[in-house]
Amino acid sequence: MSFEKLIRIPADRVGALIGRSGKVKAEIERICFVKLQIDSETGEIEVTSNGAIDQIQPFKAVEIVTAIGRGFSPHNAMKLLKEEYLLHVMDLRDFVGKSPQQIERIKGRIIGEGGRARVNMENLTNTNICVYGKTVSIIGEPHQIKVAISAITSISTGSKHGSVYGKLEANRRREKLDRLQLWETDV
């Protein structure tokens, strides 16, 4: 069974996908058992596989290419190779409509001054967050992504950063306690 998928990424992200001397492209092809045909002018990427090896790897390659296209560094996009890691893309137009000024305002709230809000959310949710174009993308485990989506949604709909961080910290403490209780019951 062969696999074939066409993806379009922004033309300015093609260089990141290819990497210096083609290293990123070659690594994705090697690890995921796929072939990437890249049109650097249109940003169209054709992902193909002969399906002889692992059935899930071509889908991981598509996720990695999409993540790089959404602004993640190749290093962070490669985290998607971990079985439990997923990519989630949120369209900011869902919060504010098509107004470019409103999209920029929301992006500014999510990123924060000097990037602090985004970094705080990443640290508190143990995810990677990237704001690019009209989207916010998240890489992490499903439960972590769910918490990050909630935080980004709260900030996008006008909640104060401090109250969002408070909820994230409370959630983090609750998860820590749950892990400790699991550990105690195993003994």
In the block, which residue shows the tokens 């002018």?
A: 41
The predicted pLDDT at position 52 comes to 61
Sequence spans of domains, the chain = 2-81, 86-183
In this structure, whether the domain defined by 86-183 belongs to CATH 3.30.1370.10 is answered with yes
* Structural contact between residues 123 and 165, judged by C-beta atoms closer than 8 angstroms: no
Instruction: Calculate ∠ Cα 110-16-115, nearest 5°.
Output: 20
* Structural contact between residues 87 and 139, judged by C-beta atoms closer than 8 angstroms: yes
The predicted pLDDT at position 103 comes to 94
User: Selecting from 3.40.50.300, 3.30.930.10, 3.30.70.20, 3.30.1370.10, what CATH number does the domain 2-81 have?
Assistant: 3.30.1370.10
pLDDT in tens, 150-159: 999 999 999 9
| pLDDT, mean of residues 54-59 | 81
**Are domains 2-81 and 86-183 of this chain identical in fold?**
yes
> Cα separation of 74 and 182, whole Å?
35
CB count within 10 Å of CB 14 equals 20
| pLDDT, mean of residues 95-112 | 93
Please tell me the least confidently modeled range out of 1-10, 28-37, 80-89, 99-108.
Answer: 1-10
DSSP assigned state of 55: S
Q: What is the CA radius of gyration of the chain?
A: 18
| pLDDT, mean of residues 107-125 | 95
pLDDT at 187 over 80: no
The predicted pLDDT at position 106 comes to 94
pTM attached to this predicted model: 0.89
The predicted pLDDT at position 177 comes to 87
Three-state DSSP at 61 gives helix
- Nearest CA to 28 among 85, 81, 73? 81
Q: At 91, phi and psi to the nearest 5?
A: -90, 120
Task: Determine what percent of the chain is predicted with pLDDT higher than 90.
Answer: 79
